[in-house]
Amino acid sequence: MESPEKIQQARETVEHHKAHMAELKSRVDAYKHERDEIIRQARAEESRLRSEIEPLDELLRKGRELSDDQRAFRRDLHARLSQAETKRAKAGNVGMGSHEATQVNEQYNRMLKELDDLEFAATPDDELRDEMDKANQQHDWATKELAHFEEYQETLEEKLVKARASVGEVGGWESDLADAKKAHDSLVGTAYIAQKKPDAKALAAAQNKVADAERDLAEAKDEVDAARAAIPALEGMIKDNRQYIETLTARLAAAAEGRAKATQRFARRLRDDLEAEYDEKRSEIEEGKVNHFRNWQHTESAEL
């Protein structure tokens, strides 16, 4: 465990480090601006030169012969264009421009990597533990929230399947009504051909079947209309929920990464503490050996 004095010293080092990095960042930005300005000016020069070259090239494409002055002027334009292209390419290839600018940029990147170690040293054990607990909690929340909306997605999809099935079932009710009417008409028609009245009991049964089929179809149509109206809404909800699940999945991945980082930082502190304790014990043992040897030498000298 780091002492409060060491923690404070580490924090002061971090602030000094950040101040130095801010200075370097300002210089890096200035160098980048200078490089970008060189490239911008070179491109503008290239564009201007090409606009002057183009009319002369157009004359050549048409088979026209240039005068001596025009040929000399065209050669000069191409030479200046080549210089501008070289200047732009050089600025782009070097990256930061001058050697000094490259060194400053490398120093800044190096200090950026060192900052993590410095900030770690400046973080007390309690904060590292709280950081790990918070990361675990965020991961648990993200896991539960994702599971909840995945379950909700399944519910929505089941409702959509049911709604589509309801729309498809109306054909069955229509077929049942058609069969009932056909049986009723057959009974009445057969009796008419035979110059008889249809059997009252059979007719009543046929009429009841038609009435039942009409009632069932009416009820089914109400449900079908409701299901048909619900389908677009369900499809929209499923789409929105799927997109949110993608967001939650990314959030869970970030939480897992944060938990891993916090756990590694806490484990690193434990390892550092164990190594420090081991080094301290080893130093004590070595010091004890040296003292023992000195005492032995002193005893031997006294006996002689």
248 and 226 share one domain: yes
Q: How far apart are CA 2 and CA 121, in angstroms?
A: 8
Once rounded to an integer, what is the mean pLDDT over residues 39-64?
A: 89
CA geometry: angle at 18 spanning 15 and 21, to 5°? 155
Instruction: Say whether both 75 and 96 belong to one domain.
Output: yes
User: In the listed set 90, 107, 122, which residue is the last one of a domain according to the structure?
Assistant: 122
Q: What is the pTM of this model?
A: 0.47
- What is the extent of the structural domain holding 52? 1-122
CA distances from 301 to 8, 295, 296, 298 (A): 49, 10, 9, 5
Band the pLDDT of 157: cuts 50, 70, 90: very high
196 and 301 co-located in one domain: yes
Do you know the residue count of the chain? 304
For residue range 113-126, list pLDDT tens digits in order. Answer: 766 776 676 677 78
Among 102, 122, 142, identify where a domain stops: 122
Cα(112)–Cα(18) distance, integer angstroms: 9
The reply to whether 130 and 101 lie within a common domain is no
Query: Which of 96, 122, 148 represents a domain boundary (last residue)?
Result: 122
N-terminal to C-terminal alpha carbon distance within the chain:
49
- pLDDT greater than 60 at residue 96: no
Based on the domain organization, do 140 and 75 belong to the same domain? no
- Cα four-point dihedral sign 253, 254, 257, 262: negative
Domain count, the chain: 2
Query: 251 with 278, same domain?
Result: yes
Please check whether residues 197 and 76 belong to one and the same domain.
Answer: no
Residues 208 and 288 in one domain: yes
Do residues 89 and 159 share a domain?
no
Helix (H) or strand (E) run with residue 113 in it: helix 99-121
pLDDT tens column, 116-152:
776 676 677 787 888 888 999 999 999 999 999 999 9
CATH code of 257's domain? 1.10.287
Distance CA 31, CA 97 (A): 7
